Amino acid sequence: MKNNEGFSLIELLVVVIVFAIIGVVASETIILTLRGTSKADATTKVRNNLDFAVGAMERQIRGAQKIDSSTTCNNTAQNSLAIVDQDDNKVTFSCVGENVNHLPSYVASASAALTPVALTSSNITISNCSFTCIPATSVSPAQVLISITGQDSGSQFVPVTVSTQITLRSF
Q: What is the C-alpha separation between 168 and 171, in angstroms, rounded?
A: 7
Domain ranges of the chain: 10-167
Q: How many CB atoms lie within 10 A of CB 79?
A: 14
The pLDDT of residue 134 is 86
Report the predicted TM-score, pTM, of the whole model to 2 decimal places: 0.76
Q: Write the DSSP symbol of residue 153.
A: T
Q: What is the pLDDT of residues 95-149, one digit of tens each?
A: 887 555 555 588 888 876 677 888 888 888 888 888 998 888 888 888 899 999 9
Rounded to whole angstroms, how far apart are CA atoms 28 and 23?
9
**Chain-centroid distance, C-alpha 130:** 13
Please, is 93 exposed, middle or buried when counting C-beta atoms within 10 Å of its C-beta (0-12, 13-18, 19+)? buried
